[in-house]
Amino acid sequence: MSRTIPRTALLAALSLVTAAGATATAFGTSAGAATAGCKVEYQISNQWNTGFGANVIVTNTGDPVASWTLEWSYANGQEVTQGWNATITQSGAAVTAKSMSYNGSLATGGSTSFGFNGSHTGTNAVPATFKLNGVTCNGATDPTQPPTTPPTTPPPTGGKVDNPYAGAKMYVNPEWSAHAAAEPGGSRVSNQPTAVWLDRIALVTGTSGTMGLRDHLDAALTQKGGGELVVQLVIYNLPGRDCSALASNGELGPTEIDKYKTQYIDPIAAILAEPKYAGLRIVTTVEIDSLPNLVTNVSGRPTATANCDVMKTNGNYVKGVGYALNKLGSIANVYNYVDAGHHGWLGWDDNLGASAEMFKQAATAEGSTLSNVHGFIVNTANYSALKEDNFKIDDSVNGTSVRQSKWVDWNRYTDELSYAQGMRTKLVSLGFDAHIGMLIDTSRNGWGGTARPTGPGALTSVDTYVNGGRYDRRIHLGNWCNQSGAGLGERPQAAPAAGIDAYVWIKPPGESDGASKEIPNNEGKGFDRMCDPTYTGNVRNGNSMSGALPNAPLAGQWFSAQFQELMKNAYPAL
């Protein structure tokens, strides 16, 4: 869905991941006949004065098991206050976590995860020992300090909190979860939270085969229990939607702004404002890909399209986003995050600043103010690596800067984490609140598997250095449709790095980016050659092959081959 603008084309036209947090890894006996063993990763994902959130990954290294029980003890008086994806009980210092019906079966080498929130009194050491089904897993490592920015304080009661993800579970979409669980091996990730896409009017109320918005919110109340829960919604139905591509075109014509307001945004706002949903934290991702198109794909740019010129001239992208931010942001428990592209689209100097200005223009349109923007999201439905560890933007090879490599192409950023933090700095300088947080969609940017480099490339040239070491294995940074070789990225987690509210799975893994051939439909979705594996490209991807998987269905429909590819190449591995 998201696009790139090659710097070289523009010039011609103009003549770690490192998720901070306390972590311990414990190992048991090796797998073998009639043996038991385990590996446990205990990760403190966020922490404040008297509370913390933790994620636990359990890997069975022994014989297959039908159910599991994990035990540990706290040394500093910590108490578990709320858990998910496991039944957790505590007696004194001793904690017991038992598998659920859907995640108890673990093959040899199989993994599952669960999470919880807890309290502490100042010291929060990682447990020294774990037992899986009675077998001790030894060798826990010393932890590092968890992030404190954000949050530095526990969420206040009433009103909007600084980071809605802190101390909260995230809604698991039952429809996506069922698709994932039905896939071979899919139960390893089917309990992960993903966003609900409202990409046409009919999905607000629901159809005969899909849940409506109220259905999802009611299900969220059930999942919430006594704690906090975040529901993630994608607001995605602008007039003339996605003016630079065809696969994700929408149902509304370029001039149908009134219909967008009255038949789409207004009904969504009315449902979200119902009192029974006031206890949910509702995160909206507002209008993917729209505003950057008004900067990079209009007249004067080598990638201009007539459709984007129309949308810039009539102002309906800006009006629509402003109206959505105003209506939704006025609801006390709704947190708006505006889409901010990705580093391979807006990371160039002449794109980033102009896009930030466009975001400000939209955030102050139609009666909205900057206060209606809680943050921004990057890499939505895209594949850009979270953190490139094997080369840096300031590196040079034989006197040639990494920025001059064909892959980087004079970009200012090499990955999404640095771009998100850089864009945040720019937005704050333009007047957005200093506490705005960023989200990064990590649903498909893991790039693991056998093709993942283990170190930098050869120093023969700057291109061999970058290409040999980059995790992102796409043919070109501009390729965006159903990418071959992609993998699941970091699992959703709160406050993983400075200025980052969360890593999230906004694009549900396994849902197609677009059809690989023309398919008639009543959803307004066209055929984009970038989804055709035989396509030899255009100026947006340097006239390279598309890198798309074959036999893909319409955008948003389940694509089993993609889901299997993502699991196979997951990083961290499943």
CA distance 44 to 498: 15
Residue type at position 196: V
Residue type at position 513: D
Which two structure tokens, joined as six digits, stand for 4? 């790139």
Any idea what DSSP says for residue 289?
Answer: T
**Strand, coil or helix: 418:** helix
**Phi and psi angles of residue 316, each rounded to the nearest 5 degrees, phi first:** -75, -20
Residue 204 contacts residue 264 (beta carbons within 8 Å): yes
Q: Where are the extended beta strands (E) located within 85-141?
A: 87-91, 94-98, 111-119, 130-132, 135-137
CA distance 265 to 70: 46
Residue type at position 561: A
CA distance 291 to 319: 11
* Residue numbers annotated as active site: 242
Q: Cα–Cα distances in Å, from 68 out to 2, 30, 60, 574?
A: 42, 17, 9, 18
Which two structure tokens, joined as six digits, stand for 413? 């950023």
Which two structure tokens, joined as six digits, stand for 109? 């080498």
Any idea what DSSP says for residue 372?
Answer: G
CA distance 15 to 158: 57
**Strand, coil or helix: 305:** coil
Helix (H) or strand (E) holding 37: none
Q: Where are the extended beta strands (E) located within 363-418?
A: 375-378, 396-397, 400-401
Characterise 242 by phi-psi region: left (phi > 0), alpha (psi -120 to 50), beta (else). left
Q: Cα–Cα distances in Å, from 381 out to 195, 278, 325, 502?
A: 11, 29, 21, 16
Preceding amide of 267 cis, omega within 30: no
Tally of residues, the chain: 574
Characterise 431 by phi-psi region: left (phi > 0), alpha (psi -120 to 50), beta (else). left
**Phi and psi angles of residue 403, each rounded to the nearest 5 degrees, phi first:** -65, -20
Q: How many CA atoms lie within 13 A of 277 on its CB side?
A: 24
**To 10 degrees, what angle do helices 416-429 and 349-363 make?**
50
CA distance 60 to 7: 48
